[in-house]
Each structure stands twice: as C-alpha cells, then as structure tokens.
Amino acid sequence: MDSAIKDILLLTDDLIFIDKVRNILDSRYYKLTVSSSLPDDFFSVEKNSYSLFIVDILSKSFNPIQTIEKIKNHKPAGETRILVASQNRKIENIVGPTPRVGGYLSKPVDFDELKKSVSSYVLENKKILIVDDDREFSELIKMFLDAQGYEAYVENNPLKAKEAVKNIQPALLFLDIMMPGKDGFEVMQELQEERKTASVPIIIITALKFDSYQDKGMLTGFPEMIYKELDEKFLLEQIEKKINDSEDGGLSSYKVKPRVLLADDQTELLMLVKETVENAGFEVFIASDGEEAVRTVYETNPDIIIMDYNMPVKDGLTAAAELKDNPLFAHIPIVIVTAFGEKQAKLRGLSMGIDDYLIKPVDTDELVARIKMVLKRNKQVLDTNPLSKLPGNPSIQARIERALSEKKKFAVLYIDLNNFKAYNDVYGFEAGDRVIKATANLLVKIAMPNENSGDFIGHIGGDDFIMITSFERAEEISAKITKSFDEISPSFYKKEDAQKGYITAYDRQNNLRKFPLLAISVAIVHNNLRELTSYAQISNIGSELKKAAKAFEKSAYVMDKRKN
C-alpha cells in the first residue's frame, strides 16, 4: 500500500470497539474519524474524502442497514469500500462454552432446518413467539409455523419483547439479534431477570455469523465479521484489502478473474478490445454474431456481456432479450454498444433490463471503467431477495444441483406472472411490489403445509420464482398455484378495472392495447421421462415450457411430456 494517508470513517456507538480500532490503526498511515452518524456535510460534498467506511452492524443509536444504503446510494461515496464489523462479548451467550440459547439459524432461513429446530423441543403448548423488527420476514416465519400446526405470534418492537413473553407465555421464542433500540442480547438479559421468562427456550434467527468471517455478509452484501474479541492482524488485513479493492475497481475481491463476453461482428475491433480488456485483468470470451453470443453464454456463464447492437444472424437486443428471458442468465448484466443514437432503440433495451449503453466509437478506458462499475454494482445484490425475503439465485442453483446429485425423481417449477409489466406501468412500482410479496406468500402457503415434503421456494428476481418439489406433487401444486392466483388477482386492481377484466397500457412496441388481469404461468421440468444432468439444461427447458404456458390468457401450467 502507498504511504499516502488514508481517511477511514468508523460509524459506531460502542466505546470499546472505538478503542480497539483506534489502537489497531495507531501509528499507521490512516486517519480515523469516529461518529455515531453520517457527518452533517456528507450529502453536500461533491467528492468523498474517505477511503473506507467501517460500520458497526450492532449499533443501536442509528440504523446500520439504512446507513449502509445511504452510503451506497450517495454518488461521491458509492465507489468507496465498506467493511461491516463489530465486537461484542455477549456473543458467548450464543456460541460460547455455555450458551444460553438452544442454537441459531441463519437468514435466509432453511425451512427444513427451522422445522428440525422446533421439533427438537417437547412443547408444553403450541405457542411460539417471534421477536424480529423485520415485519415481512417474521410474517413469513409465522405463516410457516401456522401451517405446521403451531400457534405463532409476532412482536416487531424489541422494547415490548419481555412484555410479550409474559403475556403469551410461549413454549419457544425465536429472537433476532440485530434490532433498533434494543438488540437481542439485551432482550435475553431482560428475560433472565425473572424466573417466569428465564425458562423460555430461545432460538436465535439472524443473518449474522459469530466469531467467523463472512466474505459476503448475508444481511448487507458486504464482507462482515462479528467477534467477541477482534483479531488485530486480521482486522488490519481486511482494512488494507478493502482500501486496495476500491483503488483497483474491486477486481481483487474476485477469487478468479471476472469473465467478460465481447460480441461484435467487426473482427479487428473485437480483437483490439479483447486485448485491452484482458490487460485490465479480465478473462475474455468472444463471439461474432448474436446467435454465437447466446451459445457462448450457455458454455461460459460470463459475469458480464458487452454486445454490439447491429450484428448478423441475431442482433444484440434480440440476443439480450433471449438471455433476459432465461432464469439462469437473467441476472447477468448486459451492456449494449451501438453506433445508433435512436432514442427508441435505447428505451426498448432499457425496458428489457439492459444495464447500460455505450456509443461507438468506444473509448477502451471508458469501457473498462464501465465494466468495473457494472460488475461492482451487480455483486452487491444479496442472495436473499430484499422484497420477498426468499432465497435468491445462489441458493436456487445449490438446491437444484443437490437434487441432481441425489438421483431421485424431482420437479422444478418455473413460475412467472403474465402482464406484469403493463400492471406496473399503470399502477406503479409500489403496487407491483405488493403483487410480488403476495405471490411469494401464496407460494409459501401452498408449499409449506406438507411438513415432510422438503419443498424449496426461491425468488429468481422480478416476477420470476422457482419451486423444487417431488415429481408426484408437482402437478397438484401447480394446479393449486394457478387456481389460487386467479382467485386473488382481481384484488390487485381498482374495482372498475377488475370488473372490466382488463387494463389499457402500451406494449413493448409502444402500441396502446388491452391487457387481461394478472395471471400466473408455471412450467414443470422433471426427470420422470428423461434424465436431467445440469442446471443449465433444466433452465433451458423451463424457458421453453414457460413460453407455452404464457400463451394462455388465464393462469396455466405446462408439464414437459417429452422423452428426449
């Protein structure tokens, strides 16, 4: 690291933690500023002066998650690295030699593990209390427990946790650690003060890991460490690593070189750009037309795609649309390079989910900078979907690969909403978010009642969901999903629109037309008639079947009946 003084902002209200960090950084090339909130002039300065933000995730005088979001969204500070850290001796109550709790579950919660945790207790009554300030997450857990035959209660205010335990007298308590105003450690201490509440078994549910380093924090998306006693050498290494990452665009945070696909029919230009991008630290794959680009994506699964708009066989936007329609590759950021300045072409691409545009002739330095920026932005997407609280793409892929390895009969349900874009255009994104949440809750309600099913539900993103179940249950579940969704769909609309049975909106070709009410499509991919060998194969079949299901005006499911 160079000898220039690096400014670090430590956001915490913990005096012990402040002393620890100060002692570690003392006499080194760092200037430490400590605050319990973002400085007053933070949003007024044009250039951020900090090389690193350290945020204490267990702070109570401010909301750490909201603070992290503010830093990320503030343009001058958005490129600065963030380290999520905390020191708390009370974690020995959870993972120490004599823990006061019956264990802890990590968010996003695996429902199989949740079920095992509950069943390990002989409950005198069926009452279970969930204390968590996250309303949506706690309601999801309540929904699951109710479906299992328990009597679940929710308390979202940690200040009322002890009172709730006294009034409800639960046989088991699920407790979140990180809550504003009063954290889970303090709630545990309060409960120990009275015999009536001290005897209630506690299971911790948290996104935090204790006395271990998370390369990507499940709660925040940032590397995090929550220790009883922070290791001086390790903390210093992480601080230096984060600062170095911010100076090289974050490429050093990749364990392997990020993979870039370049697609352009101008061979000489393509090879020139390839060399430049490779010299910047990327692994580069190339394609000379849109069809080859799609095929290369299937073969290489790149981290980012740079495609020319005007290519033979299949143009860039057509190839991009095909990839964005595929649940396996929809998350890959795509940058379109074009010599055209037409506004409509850009609008069409942006409406499809294209991440960025570059106009030819492309400055190679700008291209490399744009690749780094888009990759960095994309890496901050959490595994758990922030809207539905359901597991995201990494968990989905892991579950599918596990199903493949078990060599049993299984089915993967690809679930997608029809006419969702038109609904969003007319009713707005907040209404669209409510539809997404309601759909997630509906899927949980349908899948969870069978306690022995082992079903899995994930949120690919947007209005795309996935469910993994047994082959025997697949069609029954799909029928319930389509029937139940059609029953609730009219409730998303104003009375007059629901009565008409349609809304009027512009389609992707900018034509004004009528769109039926929201419906749901389910594509059933299974290994009952033919062997399934890979995640990519399953995703490809799912995309084909989903198109067939979407051909129906009402909700529908389509099962693969092909033998090869």
Name the one residue in this structure whose structure tokens are 């629901």.
498
Phi-psi domain of 353 (left: phi exceeds 0; alpha: psi -120 through 50; beta: other): left
Q: What is the DSSP code (8-state) at residue 266?
A: -
Question: CA 379, CA 51: separation in Å to the nearest integer?
Answer: 19
Nearest-10 crossing angle of helices 316-324, 343-351: 20
Q: Exposed/middle/buried for 426, CB within 10 Å: 0-12, 13-18, 19+?
A: middle
Name the one residue in this structure whose structure tokens are 């396996």.
328
Asked if residues 394 and 383 have their Cβ atoms less than 8 Å apart, the reply is: yes
Which one-letter amino acid corresponds to residue 139? Answer: E
From residue 92, how far is each of 21, 100, 162, 384 by CA, in Å? 21, 9, 21, 27
Give the pLDDT confidence score for residue 110 in this predicted structure: 66
Question: CA 90, CA 72: separation in Å to the nearest integer?
Answer: 30
Give the pLDDT confidence score for residue 242 in this predicted structure: 74
Name the one residue in this structure whose structure tokens are 């945070």.
253
Question: CA 522, CA 32: separation in Å to the nearest integer?
Answer: 54
User: Mean pLDDT of successive 10-residue segments in the chain (564 residues)?
Assistant: 73 88 79 84 69 87 82 68 83 75 75 79 84 83 82 94 94 90 89 89 85 70 78 80 62 66 90 90 92 88 88 88 69 80 52 71 84 73 67 83 89 96 91 91 76 74 92 95 92 91 88 94 95 90 91 92 82
Give the pLDDT confidence score for residue 1 in this predicted structure: 47
Give the pLDDT confidence score for residue 122 in this predicted structure: 65
Catalogue all structural domains in the chain, each as residue range(s) with its CATH number. 6-88+228-247 (3.40.50.2300), 90-206 (3.40.50.2300), 255-379 (3.40.50.2300), 393-559 (3.30.70.270)
The full DSSP string for 11-41 is E---HHHHHHHHHHHTTSSEEEEEESS--TT
Give the pLDDT confidence score for residue 205 in this predicted structure: 86
Question: CA 310, CA 290: separation in Å to the nearest integer?
Answer: 9
- Give the β-pairing of 172-175 and 127-131: parallel
Name the one residue in this structure whose structure tokens are 């969003």.
424
Q: Residue 438 contacts by C-beta under 8 Å, 6 or more apart in sequence?
A: 488, 492
Q: 515 - beta bridge partners?
A: 503
Q: What is the DSSP code (8-state) at residue 159?
A: G
Q: What is the DSSP code (8-state) at residue 386?
A: T
Give the pLDDT confidence score for residue 160 in this predicted structure: 95
Of 422, 400, 396, whose CA–CA distance to 411 is shortest?
Answer: 400
HSE value, Cβ hemisphere, 13 Å, CA-based, for 198: 5
Q: Residue 551 contacts by C-beta under 8 Å, 6 or more apart in sequence?
A: none
**Side-by-side strand order, sheet with 556-559:** 456-461, 464-470, 410-418, 519-526, 556-559
Give the pLDDT confidence score for residue 456 in this predicted structure: 86
Question: CA 53, CA 73: separation in Å to the nearest integer?
Answer: 14
Give the pLDDT confidence score for residue 85 in this predicted structure: 86
Instruction: Number of helices (H) and strands (E) in the chain: give both, helices first.
Output: 20, 23
Question: CA 362, CA 369: separation in Å to the nearest integer?
Answer: 12
The full DSSP string for 268-302 is HHHHHHHHHHHHTT-EEEEESSHHHHHHHHHHH--
